[in-house]
Amino acid sequence: MNLTALYKGHFIDTPTPDEFRVRKDAIAIVEAGKLLSLERSVPARFSSLPVKDLGEGVVIPSFIDLHVHAPQHMQMGAGLDLGLLDWLENYTYPGESRFADEDYAQALYPLFAAELLRQGSLRSVVYGTVHLESTLILAQALEKAGLMAFVGKVNMDRNAPDDLKETPEASFKGSDAFCRRLADIDRVRPIVTPRFAPNCTETLMKDLGQLAQRLALPVQSHLAETLSEVQWVSQLFPERRSYTDVYNDFGLLGPASLMAHAIFLSDAEIDLIMQRDATVVHCPSANINLSSGIMPLGRYLDKGVNLGLGSDVGAGHTLGMYRSVIQAVQASKLLRVLRPEEDHRAVTLSEAFYLATMGNGKFFTRQGWGPCGAFEPGMSFDALSIDMRFPEAVEMSPLNQLERFLYTGDDRHIKTWILAGKVL
Ligand code: GUN
Ligand code: FE
């Protein structure tokens, strides 16, 4: 089998956040799933190989979604005039309860995986539900679709409806079993998932922290998404210094931790997150929909916080990460004009695109999956070809075509999906 493949196109990526890098009419040489180099023409030693033309549009690194709830795919858009806690109670928990039924999971999760792929998110970090078997079905569905992912069985042992509430022992055992049973699946790995502090007792969080440390597993949760949640956490954990300290105190905050939202943090909490080298996942779609607030993305970027971007479907209303890129930019612009006294800055399109590709890719790299997220030699060749179908007479530059796609495009404009050198 020939392991070398050549692709021709106009390649755009963001190896750094400050600007888009455009390489027109380039040839990508891909060997064993990784980019060997990007050349101006086909090198002589490869001249006998066919060149696959990715078209007149642009080729970009495929998207990575660092925070998405698979069981909420079907509720996307429903009940979004509510605030977080009412939305959880009235829409989300009832929707998630249905995944006790494995047939339901078998019917729905392949649809989620197919849509994730179609929208160009070829790697993702995904929440299931509290149900062990259904969440294994989710992992299998992602694997079967050819995607790479981390999947978490959700843990909740308090403040949840009876049919989703586990005992601390059952919750821990379920997670332990889930993580072990996923060992057979190659491209889908487990992630320890205490849903958020209000749903977990101290006993459970402590056990989950130990599980993550013992099996060297990553952790995901929600942090400081709304003010009422922050207040609730301070009532539930009166002896803890802060919301962030709750996770830290139970061994859930470290270099392999993803904390979604992180809107309402004190300076001390931001320092703690940075000290622990944890990653904050910005989910602008969800934050706007649930009127939660606006994360100070520009400030976090300038401080050097590890950052990622997530769709947070179903509080977010689309799996298309190109939409989250735009929402991150728009939210930052609104924060700047609405709170001029706080000296916020607008985040640029290249910075937001960087987060959805390179920035999110760092999490996979840190977990030992090898580098990804841009077209650099040695990186996994993960790509989408985009065609906005401009008439030739328009003469739109590749960069303007990408901007146009990010703002106005959708899955109809994604023509090719490539993950680790394999066309999906
Ligand atoms: N906090 C706890 N659970 C959830 C969830 O499912 N979605 C969001 N956006 N926030 C949460
Ligand atoms: Fe979420």
pLDDT in tens, 197-215: 999 999 999 999 999 999 9
Q: pLDDT digit string (tens) for 56-85?
A: 999 999 999 999 999 999 999 999 999 999
| Mean pLDDT (whole number) for 171-182 | 95
CB 217 within 8 A of CB 179: yes
For the chain, domain boundaries: 4-62+373-423, 63-366
At 8, the pLDDT band (50, 70, 90 cuts) reads very high
Which residues surround ligand 1 with Cβ inside 6 Å? 69, 84, 88, 92, 195-196, 222, 225, 286, 312, 315
pLDDT, residue 2, reads 61
Q: Examine domains 4-62+373-423 and 63-366 and report if their fold is the same.
A: no
- Tell whether the model's pLDDT for residue 51 goes beyond 60: yes
293/291 Cα distance (integer angstroms): 6
pLDDT, residue 276, reads 98
Q: State the pairing for strand pair 148-152/51-53.
A: unpaired
Q: pLDDT digit string (tens) for 211-237?
A: 999 999 999 999 999 999 999 999 999
> Residue 340: how many CB atoms within 10 A of its CB?
9
Ligand 2 center to 375 CA (angstroms): 29
Residue with tokens 């993550």: 212
The H or E element containing residue 214 is helix 202-214
CB 10 within 8 A of CB 59: yes
Left (φ > 0), alpha (ψ -120 to 50) or beta: where does 79 sit? Answer: left
Ligand with smallest separation from the Cα of 71: 1
Q: pLDDT digit string (tens) for 282-337?
A: 999 999 999 999 999 999 999 999 999 999 999 999 999 999 999 999 999 999 99
Ligand 2 center to 197 CA (angstroms): 13
pLDDT, residue 286, reads 98
Global pTM value: 0.97
Q: What is the DSSP letter of 72?
A: G
| Mean pLDDT (whole number) for 100-125 | 98
Q: pLDDT digit string (tens) for 255-287?
A: 999 999 999 999 999 999 999 999 999 999 999
Ligand 1 center to 89 CA (angstroms): 11
Q: Helices (DSSP H) in 40-131: which residue ranges? A: 84-87, 93-97, 102-118
Top-level CATH class of 4-62+373-423?
mainly beta
Candidates 3.40.50.1000, 3.20.20.140, 3.20.20.100, 3.40.50.1360; CATH matching 63-366: 3.20.20.140
At 389, the pLDDT band (50, 70, 90 cuts) reads confident
92/382 Cα distance (integer angstroms): 32
pLDDT, residue 392, reads 77
Ligand 1 mutation target, pool 66, 196, 283, most atoms within 8 A of CB = 196
Give the atom of ligand 1 at the shortest distance from the alpha carbon of 222. 1
Ligand 1 center to 96 CA (angstroms): 12
- Tell whether the model's pLDDT for residue 127 goes beyond 90: yes
For the chain, give the mean pLDDT: 97
pLDDT, residue 194, reads 98
Give the atom of ligand 1 at the shortest distance from the alpha carbon of 283. 9
| Mean pLDDT (whole number) for 372-380 | 98
